Structure 1
Amino acid sequence: MKTDGTPLIGILTARKSEGTIAGNGPLFINIQKKLISLKSQSFVFTPEDVKDDYIYGYFYSTEENRWKKKSFPFPDLVYNRIPFRTSEQEEKSQWLFSRLKEKKIPFFNPCFIDKYELYQLLKGDHILQDYLPNTILVQGHNELLDFLMGFGGIYLKPTQSSKGKGIVRIRMDGPSGIQLDGILKHETYSSFTHFWEEWNEELLKKRYIAQEEIRSAEYEGKRFDFRILAHANHDDYTLSGVGIRLSQEQEITTHIPSGGRLVPYQLLKSKEHDEFFQTIIPSVGQLLSEYFGYFGEFSIDAGLSKTGRYYIYEVNSKPMSFDEEEIEKEKIENLCRLFLQLIEESS
């Protein structure tokens, strides 16, 4: 804790290629406002801003309604919001993570998650394995063809992407044809071999997983998913909020930037849904922290099949903002509570 006794939280982000600060500005401002009300401080910084004994950071001046730069001592805790996988892998970022460990400064969340690594991790858990769609790493023509034939329809997802980017669905179309649908792509191939010839370089170079297509339960004739937000609380993980995302023009993803629609959870709320959330959240949180390093928050994309079975599709280490104001408010409350809790536990 700083010499004046005020807890100091550093929010870590990255720079865009043209040098400006990236990240979720409104989130950073809301965190700062909440922390001020809790007699604490925060600042935003990038790995390039870190010197040996101090950090150049940015704080939001509510009086002047703008960001201002000043030097800060090393914070009591770092909240990792680096928004790009490439930035997180850079030498400067990795050096900073090592430096924080040396200084025994707690930080979360430690990293982005590779989709196949996540699948293997969850598959090893006796509770979570029941909620996973069948998944393989795409490695060759024959294996992928067998997988597609087994399910009739599969999703192909880059292992290192988020927000639904790069996802396509392929389905058998007649005895040998293939129908491919993406957010903006719609193609038909006369055979799987023709599909493979066009796609194999992309699938192998970028590392994709193939996942069985789950025929999703519907609301008002459209498929829906759950977006589940969770935060750590001492040695446990608790639910901060649930949003429902409904597909609209396209059925590939329910993400709002790709045309999904927001539906209040209250409209679909049930005892079974709530029990599912309470079952998976602690197990996912503890597994992530044991395997990757401390996770203070995460979100889960999950769904319900037409047959009434629950599935976990995705876990996000850097949850996007929720469009539901009450969930976003709860997120800020829980984050700031967690910051101060961790600082107290580490001091």
Structure 2
Amino acid sequence: MIELFYEMTSQTWYQQFDKEKKVTMGKYYSVPYKKEHTSKFLSFPFLLKDMKAGPLICILASPKKNGFIGNISLFKRIQRNLQQLGGLSVVVTPEQLTEDGVNGFCYLPAHDHWVKVQTPLPDILYNRLARYEDERLFLEQTEKLTSLYHIPVFNPHFFDKWELYLQLRDNERLKQHLPKTDLLSEETLAEYLSTYPEVYIKKRKSKKGKGVFLIVRNGNTFLMKSTSTTTVLFPSVRKLASYFEKEESIDSYIIQEAITTLPMKGKKFDYRVLAHSSGNGFSITGVGVRMAKKQQVTTHVPSGGVIVATEELPVKTDHETIEQLITQCGKQLTAFYDDIGEFSADIGITTEGKHYIFELNAKPMDFDEAPIKQRATENITKVFYERTGFSMQESSS
């Protein structure tokens, strides 16, 4: 472990480690030697491998005026973990990532304070953009830069539910665990509602349980429930289809059979599984349970779901089956997408004990369970070291 120093006034990095040899940092940056501290400075511990200090991680966050938005508590935990092990994370918005380097925000755990810092381009970019529109606006220019400078992008983008379904369906071991799904159209709407008593309609690009609707056949009419408490009655399939055509094209949604799952206290529940890249595959970081509360549309906590302990469930958790499903999901994701380092899965179970994969999420929300939250931070950090070629066991020797 070595120390690198950041001079706040001149916004420059320097080292007092070796006057003769070249110490590098990030992408193609040589850290100058300075014998004495001359101004207000910060000190950061780094690992050293082949005279390269690191790892330097950039966390890509959504912009707001004079700052950023995102999972701030996660960003703080990552920085705290990196500083303990040797390494640095800087939070940046897309405009702050340029060919000249990075102008971002660094969390100082000892002071519980954020400071602005300039760094060279990072060893890896961790995409935590919080909004779909930000990916649409900024991701193309970011990808050009990271491709030009060979910077791996960890978690390239949100998943498209239709694209994801097609990928998972290609796996023989997974396709029997997927609800029947199609792109939404008036034709598929009519077909599904004549086949199933209930169907889900989901926005292809949505998160946290938003953009999810449950359609229930009620004689010759159709009830639509959403995460709000409002229920809307439609007299025909045509009227229902026109509702989803109002704001954007109808095929920006998918339609899915509603699987009847094993209830708990009369409410639906599902497993929320967090997985991280580990070696050549994925391993489970934690398994939580989420139960629907007032509305029975989604179990997501931001949409009214509640947290339940696995011990409270009316069935023993089949960890072996869940692990097999996660392993196969990881295989499909890495075969299709670049640099998937983590994902979460929503998995339900029927009264017969069959498991169904309802959704995979590319940017998992924080788990409320403290042990899972802690392991998640540790495992994300491990992925950073693994992907950047640093080992957490390495010293400055």
Short-chain TM bin: over 0.9
C-alpha contact 1:228 1:299 (8 A) present in aligned 2? yes
Equivalent residues of 1:56, 1:71 under 8 A apart: yes
**TM-score normalised to structure 1 length:** 0.93
Tell me if 1:309 matches 2:357: no
Superimposed CA distance per residue, residues 223-277 of structure 1 (whole angstroms, 9 cap, x where no aligned partner): 1011100000111100000110011111000111111110122434977621122
Shift of 1:19: 5.1
Worse-matched range after superposition: 104-113 or 322-331: 104-113
Cross-structure match for 2:221? 177
Q: Which has the higher strand share?
A: 2
Instruction: Please state if 1:95 is matched with 2:141.
Output: yes
Indicate whether 1:152 and 2:152 are aligned.
no
When normalised by structure 2's length, the TM-score is: 0.82
Question: Partners in 1 of 2:98 and 2:248 — Cα distance?
Answer: 41
* Number of residue-to-residue matches in the alignment: 342
Determine if contact 1:239/1:277 at 8 Å carries over to the other structure: no
Change (3 A) 1:47 1:320: same
Structure 2 gap segments, 5+ residues each = 1-23, 26-30, 32-51, 392-397
CA distance change for structure 1 residues 321 and 62 in 2, over 3 Å: closer, same or farther?
same
Please list the CA deviations of residues 277-302 of structure 1 after superposition, one character each: whole Å capped at 9, or x if unmatched: 21111221121122121100000011
Contact kept in structure 1, 2:79 and 2:109, CA below 8 Å? no
The equivalent residue for 1:9 is 57
Aligned to 2:3: none
2:325 corresponds, among 280, 288, 309, to: 280
Question: Aligned in 2, Cα 1:11/1:197: closer, same or farther, shift over 3 Å?
Answer: closer
- 2:253 paired residue among 193, 208, 222: 208
Contact 2:221 2:234 in 1 (8 A): yes
The yes-or-no answer on 1:257 pairing with 2:305 is no
SS of aligned partner of 1:15: strand
Between the aligned partners of 1:200 and 1:75, the Cα distance in structure 2 is 43
Letter matched to residue 54 of structure 2: T
Secondary structure of the 2:53 match is: coil
- Secondary structure of residue in 2 paired with 1:171: strand
- Corresponding residue of 1:86: 133
| Residue aligning to 2:232 | 187
State the secondary structure of the residue aligned to 1:99.
helix
Flag the structure with higher helix content. 1
* Structural mapping, 1:235-274, within 5 Å: 235-268=280-313, 273-274=318-319
CA distance in 2, matches of 1:302, 1:75: 35
Structure 2 residue matching 1:104: 3-state secondary structure: coil
Q: Name the CA distance, whole Å, in 1 between partners of 2:307 and 2:355.
A: 20
- Partner of residue 72 from structure 1, selected from 103, 116, 119: 119
User: Percent of counterpart pairs with the same letter?
Assistant: 34
**Contact in 1 for aligned 2:264/2:314 (Cα 8 Å):** no
CA displacement at 1:205 relative to structure 2: 4.4
Amino acid at match of 1:46: T
Letter paired with 1:179: L
Between the aligned partners of 1:84 and 1:172, the Cα distance in structure 2 is 33
Equivalent residue in structure 2 for 1:48, among 82, 95, 103: 95
Structure 1: distance between partners of 2:58 and 2:232: 47
Separation in 2 of the partners of 1:235 and 1:216? 33
**Which of residues 58, 70, 76 is equivalent to 2:105?**
58
Residue identity in the other structure for 1:327:
I
